[in-house]
Amino acid sequence: MAARVEILAVGSLQGALAPAARHYLDLLRPYVGVSVREVREVPLQGRAPAEVLREEARRLARAWPRQPVVAALAVDGRQLSSEAFADWLQAAFERGGAGFVLGGPLGLAAELLARTDERLSLSAMT
């Protein structure tokens, strides 16, 4: 079975970055199975942050990646060099695949972070 990458995100990428994201996904597909699932964002206006996180957590939990290794992309995650990330990804592929979970503007609820195997940050700008 070929390695898989599942990306689960709150909201959808729109605007000028959407074509670039599609381009990079197309570049990956000959080498690894890639799927992207998006759950609807919860509007922030008029809601307490805890309420928003709770509802987004409920939506994400229903669509949780089915890969053996799941990483949250989080602002407080571990930053890896390109080489270290490639090694991390290879280790995940050897176990069967990797899932990446991306939160909304408020990040991810603590209960979802606890379900992940790793917390990663792709850059200090995350």
Tokens of 41: 């964002």
Do residues 101 and 60 touch, judged by C-beta distance below 8 A? yes
What per-residue confidence (pLDDT) applies to 126?
A: 58
Greater model confidence, 2 or 54: 54
Q: Is residue 94 part of a domain?
A: yes
Burial tier of 18 (Cβ tally within 10 Å: 0-12, 13-18, 19+): exposed
Q: Which domain holds residue 75?
A: 4-121
pLDDT, tens digit, 9 for 90 and up, residues 3-48: 899 999 999 988 888 999 999 999 999 999 999 999 999 999 999 9
- Which parts of the chain fold into alpha helices (H)? 17-28, 49-62, 82-95, 110-115
Is 113 part of any domain?
yes
Indicate the number of domains in the chain: 1
- Whether 14 is in a domain gets the answer yes
Share of the chain above pLDDT 90, in %: 89
Is 81 within the bounds of a domain? yes
pTM, two decimal places: 0.92
Short-list 58, 65, 69, CA closest to 35: 65
Q: What is the mean pLDDT of the chain?
A: 94
Tell me what pLDDT residue 72 has: 98
95, part of any domain: yes
CATH number, residue 90: 3.40.1280.10
Does 126 map to a domain? no
pLDDT classification of 124: cutoffs 50, 70, 90? confident
Q: Is residue 75 included in any domain, yes or no? A: yes
